[in-house]
Structure 1
Amino acid sequence: MAPKVLIVLTSVDTMPTTGKPTGWYLPEFAHPWYELHDKCELTIASPKGGKAPLDPASVEMFKGDEKAVEFHKTQSALWEKTKVLSDMKASDFDAIFYVGGHGPMFDLTTDRTSIDLIEAFAAAKKPISAVCHGPCVFLNTKAPTGEALIAGKTVTGFSNVEEDQAQLSAAMPFMLEDELNKISGGKFVKAADPWAEKTVVETTAGIGGVLITGQNPASAEGVGKALLKALGL
């Protein structure tokens, strides 16, 4: 039987700091989807359910990415009618994956339902994964021991340099690299060059199952492949 994976998208379509359109980032859903969809049973959810906003900037920026373009053209049903996140139970799934984009920084970082879900997956030793800004969802989570879930764990996510180069640092509620580095205890890592691929698979005892994080859009496929491997596929 195919493993069941819960994919979570943001519900935020506008940056409250600037009014700029935002949402989830196209290649960060497209590339993992191509890795997972024919081997896993996928359920797509968001905090509000219904249509999960796709960041229009990501469509424009990745118009030269064949997989992203094809995904955008053919798979819109996946994000037009998402399930409500609060209706989801960790016991119904084998793994969870968070798509990035700037949107999650404004809702999923502090979403209690999301935090509870991640903690339940971790306690059940099921793989938890996120890419780019997606790892913000781990900042407020606790391990079964009561300490921060990512304390002492090697993690990655969108770097300060990348945020600066995207010219969105001032619009963010916090710098993701700084917070991940602080809560992990200085265990944040990144690629040698901005925008290069970096995927981290952390299996240290105490986390529960496997923790998979990817730095940026270029890392999305790697996160998908690592999640398949964590599921034994």
Structure 2
Amino acid sequence: FTTPNTERFLKDEVASFAIQNTRVLRNINYNTFDAVFFPGGYGLLWDLASDSFVIKMIEDFAKTGRPIAMVCHAPGILRDVKKPNGEPFVKGVKLTGFKNSEDVEIELLHHLLFSLEDELKLRGANYISKGNWKPNVIVDGVLMTGQSPASAPPLAEALAKRLNDSKLKGNNKRLSK
């Protein structure tokens, strides 16, 4: 399954070089980044969702007002992220992510470590979804989420717009580096 965006990405020499030279996340100083974008995929439910480094990184991005973009299953990483007062980060926050009915449709829900939709609702998230496989982007403060693979392009565009608007307003001097 590919889209025009993934086909373009696979033919991009710079992207290929970056993939072949991927650095370990723990070895990156995330304080030099203006935003973070977590793509989806099932694997992150087993590793990133319980990774103390990733959880702290998200908490630090939120404290400093830097955008956190997540698509598909990536919002599952928020399961154990906390606000400074110890409450779940998602409590009272509008967001979206891959729906249970989407996982059921592809017969994977029963194989997952946890249901993204159920876990986020359990922690008080205001989970907002549209029809299966439809583009759906929800922005609430620093958190920017997309429901399904169809949401990746509009989510990336929303993040780029936020960063460009911030740069134009001079709100973040790091954006010009």
In the superposition, the TM-score normalised over structure 1's length comes to 0.67
Q: Which has the higher helix share?
A: 2
Does structure 2 retain, via aligned residues, the 8 Å contact 1:90–1:120?
Answer: no
Q: Write the mapping of 1:129-148 to structure 2, written as runs, cut at 5 A.
A: 129-148=69-88
- Please, which of 96, 116, 129 is the counterpart of residue 190 of structure 1? 129
Is this contact kept in 2: 1:100–1:131, CA < 8 A?
yes
Structure 2 contact 91–125 (Cα < 8 Å) conserved: no
Answering whether residue 146 of structure 2 is matched by residue 214 of structure 1, we say yes
Give the drift of 1:148.
Answer: 1.2
How well do the aligned residues superpose, as a CA RMSD in angstroms? 1.3
| Structure 2 portions without partners, runs of 5+ | 166-177
1:228 and 2:160 correspond: yes
Query: Which whole-Å CA distance do the structure 1 matches of 2:65 and 2:79 have between them?
Result: 18
Structure 1 residue matching 2:70: 3-state secondary structure? strand
TM superposition shift of 1:186: 4.9
Q: Which runs of 4+ in 1 moved over 6 A?
A: none
Alpha-carbon contact 1:128-1:212 (below 8 Å) kept:
yes
Aligned residue identity for 2:135: E
Alignment equivalent of 1:109, drawn from 38, 49, 53: 49
Distance in 2, matches of 1:136 and 1:71, equals: 25
* Gap regions ≥5 residues in structure 1: 1-60, 204-209
- 1:76-115 CA-partner distances (Å, limit 9, x unpaired): 2222221111122332111111011111111110011101
SS at match of 1:139: helix
CA distance in 1, matches of 2:91, 2:101: 23
Relative to the length of structure 2, the TM-score reads: 0.87
CA contact (8 A) 2:41 2:74 kept: yes
1:166 aligned partner: 106
The SS at the match of 1:109 is helix
1:88 and 1:150 map into 2 onto residues whose CA distance is 25
Cα–Cα, structure 1 residues 176 and 144, in superposed 2: closer, same or farther, change >3 Å?
same
Which amino acid is the alignment partner of residue 129 of structure 2?
K
The aligned counterpart of 1:156 is: 96
Q: Distance in 2 between matches of 1:110 and 1:202?
A: 23
* AA in 1 matched with 2:8: E
